[in-house]
Amino acid sequence: MLFRTTFRFGLCIVLLMVTSCLAADSDKAAAQPSVTIEKKAEISDVNSPKTVLEPDVMVQLGDKKLTMEQIDWIRPTFGGQKLTGQQIAETAQWWLENELLSAEAEKRGIANQTKAKFLIDMMAKKVVSQELIQQVKEAVEINDKTALNFYNENKDDDVQLRKLGEIGFVHVQTKTIDEAKDVLKRIKAGEDISELAKKLSTHRDGKKGGVAKKYKYKTVERRFGKEFFDAVVAVKKGELVGPVKDKKGNYEVARQTYKSEPGVLPFEKVKEAIKTRLMRIEKEKSFTSLIDSLKKASAGKIVKSPKIVGFDSTIGRGNQPKKRRRQR
């Protein structure tokens, strides 16, 4: 995927370079015919009535053809998604215009100019360099045993390998402890706690029956305080809690409705996530190892200007330096 994205980007840079050079040389080429596309031609426009394209060819210019495979190289997708008809048409149109402009640039000798030759050479090297990086990264494999070893070593501390505790309850909040005791008495006498919450609770969820379906442990402790949290977690499903003073000085009467204890997630449930995570880490290590070894092997050939020594020159992942924004 990275190679495909870079390939597309590289082609775009070359196109921009060519058009930039065309603009710079406009005075010299005033007497020569120029390429102006006032309106994007439809892909079918380049086909003569007698031409029948091969099934996988999307557009043809003379003996040059653009296939669906090449379109996928230029415009990759992620997650197995397919390009839409509009996206295919746009990419084919871009390729066609790029071919026309490049051919005109060749006629004008732009490809032989110093600047153009340098940029073309750099982009060609970038494309093959990115392919090398991609192949090195794709060679990385993480098997089930490696994932299991990571799981066993980190399951007690890694939050991504653990499930958080959840608690659910229905509660009535009151201002005084006497009001809370009265609520508890009425619940024990058979009145519904949700109906009492609608009538008596001072909490904002009272109008909805005081229902807190599934809160994370930390959420309950943060909102209601440790005393209430400890009390509601300690009882079994269906049991009553209270009166308990919350963190704001109010009083709570609650019935626990749900509890899921925190703990370690089963290996099978997190195996693929671990492998993806380790794959990402090891791929970056493989690139770093490659570039470090190449620098070490060529250390005797590398000479840097004093003007750049001491600056952080790490770009990472084989990317090129960012372009400086034009000042307005």
Cα distances (Å, whole numbers) of residue 159 to 38, 95, 147, 162, 313? 58, 48, 16, 5, 35
- Split at pLDDT 50, 70, 90, the class of 6 is very low
- Split at pLDDT 50, 70, 90, the class of 162 is confident
For residues 193-198, give the mean pLDDT: 94
- Split at pLDDT 50, 70, 90, the class of 148 is very high
Q: How large is the angle between the packed helices 2-24 and 85-107, nearest 10 degrees?
A: 40
pLDDT of residue 308: 83
pLDDT of residue 315: 55
| Fold (CATH) for 165-261 | Chitinase A; domain 3 (3.10.50)
- 156 burial via Cβ count (<10 Å: 0-12, 13-18, 19+): exposed
Q: Tokens 């079918």 map to which residue?
A: 44
Asked if pLDDT for residue 45 goes beyond 60, the answer is no
Asked if pLDDT for residue 13 goes beyond 80, the answer is no
Asked if pLDDT for residue 116 goes beyond 60, the answer is yes
> Model pTM?
0.54
Asked if pLDDT for residue 41 goes beyond 80, the answer is no
Asked if pLDDT for residue 113 goes beyond 70, the answer is yes
pLDDT of residue 313: 61
pLDDT of residue 25: 45
Scored b (16 or more CB within 10 A) or e, 77-112 reads eeeeeebeeeebbebbbbbbbbbebbebbeebebee
For residues 42-67, give the mean pLDDT: 75
Asked if pLDDT for residue 29 goes beyond 50, the answer is no
What one-character DSSP code corresponds to residue 28?
Answer: T
Cβ atoms of 212 and 205 within 8 Å: the answer is: yes
Q: Which of 258, 314, 252 is nearest to 287 (CA)?
A: 314
For residues 90-106, give the mean pLDDT: 94
Cis (ω within 30 of 0) for the bond into 243? yes
Q: Determine the Cα–Cα distance for residues 209 and 246; give it in Å rounded to an integer.
A: 19
Q: What is 125-139 written as a DSSP string? A: HHHHHHHHHHHHHHT
Q: Using one digit for the tens of pLDDT, what is the confidence trace for 275-324?
A: 999 999 999 999 999 999 999 999 999 888 888 887 766 555 555 555 55
Asked if pLDDT for residue 174 goes beyond 90, the answer is yes
